[in-house]
Amino acid sequence: MEDFFEANLAIISRRWPDVGQRICNADFPDSVEIDESGTEPALVVNGLHLSSIYDRLREAELQATLIPASSERAWVYGLGMAVLPRVLLMRSVLKRMNVVLFNPKIAKAVFHLIDHRDWLNDERVELQWHADHSDVCFPFSLNPPSLQLAEVSAYRLRDLVSLTLATPHIQKKHETKEADYRKRLDENESFIAQDGDVKFFWDESKKHSIVVIGAGPTLSQHYGYLKAHRDKHYLIVVDAALKPLLEAGIKPDVCVTQDPTEKGVLRFFSGISDEALAGVSLLYFPLTPGRILTDWPGPRFVSYTQHPRYQLLLQKYPKGTLFSAGSVIHPATDLAVKMGGNPVILMGADFSFPGGDSHVLGSPAHSTSKKSRKFDWLVNGYGQKVQTIANLKGYLRDLESYILKNPEVIFINSSKDGARIEGTVYSDEVSL
Amino acid sequence: MTTAEESCRELIRRVAGAFRLGMEADGNAAFVSFVDCYIPLLDKIPPQRAQVAQPLLQKIFTAQQNRDYLYLADLLEYGGLPF
């Protein structure tokens, strides 16, 4: 088989010397095969086909539809077998195209096995590393397996691209539930009218360190610290961590609940005695199941999110709003920030399955994961890969975006076993 | 073509399209609908033809399990699933 590496590299090194250097220094992927079982051969890298084995041009033409035909700019995430860049370069209207590489090993294999000189020589092309991109650029298209094969340092950009693509699906799912949500809002209106405003907490102006307690498996690592230093911190716990925290003998100041599904959320509260909850406030959202509100023995406070469905209620019963992006850890963290917490200490915010556990032991949501290729990966505080799933990746990236928008606040991640959260420092790097 | 068959073919287009565009959540949701639609159809296919489906379905499920989505899209669109 002909080797095109030197010919391809000559162009890359001339036009983008840093890219050329990185590819030169890279090893080959663990596994590279050619699948010739279809009508067109395709590279299979680490078990993933980089293109169709039947009609890769049609496939790339479909991918190219993500970029409007009139666009003068295009970003292509992932190289694949470079069919998509070629398809886009056929557009005379296109003036500039950035092809973003996610893994030097894959690039090395692809540049060895395929002649890319035609499109690499096109003046409109800019070849870049993922590291040059801190956020998603629009309009973009992609070679999906190239993102799945991303190197560890490209995980954040990979997830931001995936999150962008998944957003319409997530919105569609919520739209199907909108009628039920309207009914719930009607049922909860009297609570919303009477209960306290989340702004009560902001007025408290605690101005001290606030701990946001998530239900990740690493929460149990901190029980000893929390017991010993309970008076030093204000504790905000998410609903899924309430039971295990109380069982560990630690009483939080406020519990935040957001999940509107009864099946998902009632279990977090069932069986807890009124005595155990004495003095604990509940912060909820307008879609919280009514049974949680009627059963809660202590003070209740309500918050809105930015969602347009709350606009009418907000006008009728003006109260504060918290940041929300799918996980209860988001409003819990925003509450800590709005209360003036600095630092904000995150415990049990793992966004992953360290040790194979989904949640902290004792949480009704706890389960043990089985090893499966269906898992995604994130990087933990030690730089090692840790199992996760798609929605947790999305929650993590949304929290990171929130953190980056609040640079005046120090966010402390208390465990290195869970996913690394960009914008946080680790507790062993600061004094609590 | 029966309505059920039309639905299955439409779902195949949706699954394959979503996976080729990197829309994993959409693709997986449509894949579940496809399986729910196609499996009952197997009972209505002559046994000889239905037998062809078994190894192909096995490959399809393996590709989905391995998240080898472009290959999965190919198997669905070009693999020759019997109807």
pLDDT tens figures, A238-263: 999 999 999 999 999 999 999 999 98
Of B17, B23, B65, the CB nearest to A165: B23
Reported as a pLDDT band with limits 50, 70 and 90, residue A374 is low
Reported as a pLDDT band with limits 50, 70 and 90, residue A295 is very high
Stretch A141-152: mean pLDDT, rounded?
A: 97
Stretch A292-315: mean pLDDT, rounded?
A: 96
Q: Nearest CA of chain B to the CA of A291: how many Å? A: 31
Stretch A291-308: mean pLDDT, rounded?
A: 96
pLDDT at A260: 95
Instruction: Tell me which chain A residues have a C-beta less than 8 angstroms from the C-beta of B73.
Output: 52, 59
pLDDT at A430: 74
- Tell me if chain A has a CB within 8 Å of the CB of B32: no
pLDDT at A327: 96
Stretch A298-313: mean pLDDT, rounded?
A: 96
pLDDT at A329: 98
Instruction: Tell me which chain B residues have a C-beta less than 8 angstroms from the C-beta of A63.
Output: 20-21
pLDDT at A205: 57
pLDDT at A142: 98
Q: Does A139 sit behind a cis peptide bond, omega within 30 degrees of 0 on the bond before it?
A: yes
CB within 8 Å: A48 and B65: no
Task: Report B:59-78 residues touching A (Cβ under 8 A).
Answer: 65-71, 73-74, 77-78
A302 pLDDT exceeds 60? yes
Lowest mean pLDDT among A93-97, A428-432, B56-60, B66-70: A428-432
A117 pLDDT exceeds 80? yes
Lowest mean pLDDT among A141-150, A276-285, B26-35, B38-47: B38-47
ipTM above 0.95, yes or no: yes
CB within 8 Å: B70 and A170: no
pLDDT at A208: 74
pLDDT at A402: 97
Instruction: Give the span between the Cα atoms of A86 and A377, in whole angstroms.
Output: 31
- In SS3 terms, chain A reads as CCCCHHHHHHHHHHHCHHHHHHHHHCCCCCCEEEECCCCCCEEEECCEECCCCCCHHHHHHHHHCCCCCCCCEEEEECCCCCHHHHHHHCCCCCCEEEEEECCHHHHHHHHHHCCCHHHHCCCCEEEEEHHHCCCCCCCEEECHHHHHCCCHHHHHHHHHHHHHHHHHHHHHHHHHCHHHHHHHHHHHHHHHHHCEECHHHHHHCCCCCEEEECCCHHHHHHHHHHHHCHHHCEEEEEHHHHHHHHHCCCCCCEEECCCCCHHHHHHHCCCCCHHHHCCCEEEECCCCCHHHHHHCCCCEEECECCCHHHHHHHHHCCCCECCCCCCCHHHHHHHHHHCCCCCEEEECCCCCCHHHECCCCCCCCCCECCCCCCCEEEEECCCCEEEECHHHHHHHHHHHHHHHCCCCCCEEECCCCCECCCCEEEHHHCCC
Q: Nearest CA of chain A to the CA of B14: how many Å? A: 12
Q: Nearest CA of chain B to the CA of A242: how many Å? A: 30
Q: Give CA separation, A253 vs A57, A151, A174, A233, in Å.
A: 59, 41, 31, 10
- Tell me if chain A has a CB within 8 Å of the CB of B29: yes
pLDDT at A371: 56
Of A49, A63, A162, the CB nearest to B71: A49
Split chain B (83 residues) into runs of 10 and give each run's mean pLDDT. 88 98 95 94 86 92 96 96 88
Of B26, B65, B74, the CB nearest to A52: B74
pLDDT at A207: 60
CB within 8 Å: A169 and B26: yes
Of B23, B65, B77, the CB nearest to A374: B65
A interface test, pick of B19, B74, B77 with most A CB neighbours within 10 Å: B74
Q: Nearest CA of chain B to the CA of A229: how many Å? A: 43
pLDDT tens figures, A339-359: 999 999 999 999 999 999 999
pLDDT at A181: 95
- Tell me if chain A has a CB within 8 Å of the CB of B17: yes
A370 pLDDT exceeds 70? no
CB within 8 Å: B21 and A166: no
pLDDT tens figures, A56-72: 999 999 999 999 999 99
Find, in chain A, the residue whose alpha carbon is nearest to that of B68: A48
Amino acid at A423: G
Lowest mean pLDDT among A23-27, A193-197, A227-231, A365-369: A365-369
